[in-house]
Structure 1
């Protein structure tokens, strides 16, 4: 039987799971995981907010991009963090994401496309910047589609969008965002790899100011007890606004908490 806990909001952080070894939050879009020299003006960070809420130091064991929301897992000790890091490295963690992408994507498929190393100017200062492209695999399943009678692009009289579930096998930097761009279905709201015309349309028409990529579920074995652990993160108001506007709530029902 999987271990699951209902979310509760404390100290501006949505705690979705906590025990004596672990704590998981539903990270909001736009929140940095930890302090970065690249964002010196920021005052709020998921790691510090989580630490202040649970009353002990926490250790990140995986990443979520700043504009991505959803399940973010921390360990409460360095020893548990090492174990979890090894679990992620060994691909023993199942991750599911929800995204809204441009265009009508096929019902299901797999993207097997190696990604070049993208170093951070500071975090990867001493890394090998010339390393070869790394294997990257993403599976997708289309959940719903809509065609709007709006010419966002001059090439088409209408605009098409798909709601997709994304399941990465690997964990490369910006993997889902880069893979969706590679197959010509960029994620809506992605200012680095997306289509700015559609991002602007969602901002003006639906007041959606975020990237529509959400880490909906994380499944793994507990590093201490070995029991199956299923962590789920609910969607924010902007996400729900899109699902309601496009009549996608029923299609996404199985993926909502």
Structure 2
């Protein structure tokens, strides 16, 4: 059963679990379970995905119940009037606590360079008494709030890799030593990237809608493991 965060006669938003595909794709042809299918079966009607989340990413995922309003919603994403807020746990602590990553990314489809911008803000810092690199007696981590201005494929994961603050659990763009350490020490095998909040204008009522998704268990556990017990998220 999917966790429904918002619903009216036009729209429905869920808290997508990590590891669940949004819809069928040739990249994972062997999969038979998708958020689109599960939600359709759960509410008994067709739904249409407005945007996407990477398979390992959890959090707010918006669907339309009416195909005719899809272009309005997609236009909001295209003109950047939708505000997306993510939380991520990364290796190391950025020296600049709040900044804009303005770094073009190559499109995986056309191989063309595309502009890409991500704002980040450091919410919490941690230092634990483990040597994960073979060079230092302790290891440092940060909890970041991320707000992408653009929506490129794997943008947040690639941008954090670009500034060498890899998102923990990222097996494609991350730091394998860190991933292996967290698997062994904390039994954490998930990508620590969560779509926390989605803000948009309702295409029919014109109200400003804000949908918030609670953190999944694996993310909450890592927050506890790193000693962040008094966070107001």
Normalised by the length of structure 2, the TM-score is 0.97
Aligned to 2:13: 24
Aligned to 1:116: 106
Gaps of 5+ in 2: none
What is the alpha-carbon distance in structure 2 between the residues aligned to residue 66 and residue 249 of structure 1? 28
What is the alpha-carbon distance in structure 1 between the residues aligned to residue 25 and residue 33 of structure 2? 11
Does the residue aligned with 1:244 lie in a helix, a strand or coil?
helix
Offset, 1:249: 3.5
Aligned to 1:212: 192
What is the alpha-carbon distance in structure 2 between the residues aligned to residue 235 and residue 44 of structure 1? 22
| C-alpha RMSD of the superposition | 1.0
Aligned to 1:93: 82
Tell me if 1:176 matches 2:156.
Answer: yes
What is the alpha-carbon distance in structure 1 between the residues aligned to residue 181 and residue 219 of structure 2? 15
What is the alpha-carbon distance in structure 2 between the residues aligned to residue 185 and residue 134 of structure 1? 21
Offset, 1:130: 4.2
User: Which ranges of 4 or more aligned residues in structure 1 deviate by more than 4 Å?
Assistant: none
Mapping of residues 98-247 of structure 1, within 5 Å:
98-105=87-94, 106-119=96-109, 129-131=110-112, 133-247=113-227
The number of residue pairs the alignment matches comes to: 232
What is the alpha-carbon distance in structure 2 between the residues aligned to residue 230 and residue 240 of structure 1? 22
Does the residue aligned with 1:91 lie in a helix, a strand or coil?
coil
Any idea what the Cα deviations from partners look like across 1:155-183, whole Å, max 9, x if unmatched? 32221100000011111111000000000
What is the alpha-carbon distance in structure 1 between the residues aligned to residue 121 and residue 198 of structure 2? 17
What is the alpha-carbon distance in structure 2 between the residues aligned to residue 89 and residue 103 of structure 1? 32
What is the alpha-carbon distance in structure 2 between the residues aligned to residue 41 and residue 175 of structure 1? 25
The one of 57, 60, 66 aligned to 2:55: 66
What is the alpha-carbon distance in structure 2 between the residues aligned to residue 248 and residue 167 of structure 1? 21
Q: For the structure 1 residues 117 and 109, does the alpha-carbon distance in structure 2 shift closer, same or farther, using more than 3 Å as the test?
A: same
